Amino acid sequence: MADLSADAGVPVPTIKYYLREGLLPPGRPLSRNQAEYGPEHVRRLRLVRALADYGGLGIATIRELIRHMEDPGVARGELLGAAQQTVTAHHDARPGEHVLQAGDLVAGLLARKGWDDLAGHPAGRIMVGVVASLLELGLDDVIEALDDYAAAAEAAAEVDLRVLGDATDRERAVEIVVVGTLLGDTLMAAMRRLAQAHTSEKTYEATG
């Protein structure tokens, strides 16, 4: 276990904890008090740490995700959906006069994009809250651009799936969806800031 700790950069007590919680498969027994661990254990440890450190996920959530990952009866599409939802915040829109209108606007967008089967997705509920806030602030121009934002999001999602590829390796699929979503969101936000800076500079230079 000391070698596994050194290879994965995870303290031995943490490894023992993950073993007890079912997050890490047991090693191959060598004796009563010894087991052999391989590269698959290092990989799993790194995945669990990424889920906990980058995703801020609790042990129970990680355990449920791993249970899906190790269950061959769970189809790949269902597995990817479960993985993606683990990194999506679950917030309902706060009560307010604009929530119903926001719900209608989001429902309309989902219908236009053919995403209406995802109406109950946590991200859809977050959208309702955001759109309600935009309405409260009177930012109608942003509301009018929702379809443009959705088109950009769809293009980014297509890149994500291209990167995922065939992903017959179920653990790799979860790694890419979960860690890729978390880091991908940060990456996209950073690139958006750069694009905004570049575009505004170019626009105002041209009109200045």
Q: Give tens-digit pLDDT for 19-73.
A: 999 899 888 888 877 888 999 999 889 888 877 876 677 888 888 888 877 877 7
User: In the predicted model, what is the mean pLDDT of residues 181-188?
Assistant: 77
Q: Which domain holds residue 63?
A: 2-73
16 assigned to some structural domain: yes
Q: Are residues 24 and 92 in the same domain?
A: no
Under a CB-based contact definition with an 8 Å cutoff, are residues 65 and 83 in contact?
A: yes
In a domain, 116, yes or no: yes
Looking at the structure, do residues 21 and 56 belong to the same domain, yes or no? Answer: yes
pLDDT of residue 207: 59
What's this model's pTM, rounded to 2 decimal places?
0.64
pLDDT value of residue 93: 60
Is the pLDDT assigned to residue 208 strictly greater than 60? no
Q: Specify the pLDDT at position 161.
A: 74
Residue 49: which of 14, 81, 96 has the closest Cα? 14
Written as six digits, the tokens of 102 are: 């926001």
**How many structural domains compose the chain?**
2
On whether both 64 and 102 belong to a single domain, the answer is no
* 28 is a domain residue: yes
Within 10 angstroms of residue 136's Cβ, the number of other Cβ atoms is 13
**CB under 8 Å to 66, separation ≥6 — which residues?**
22, 23, 48
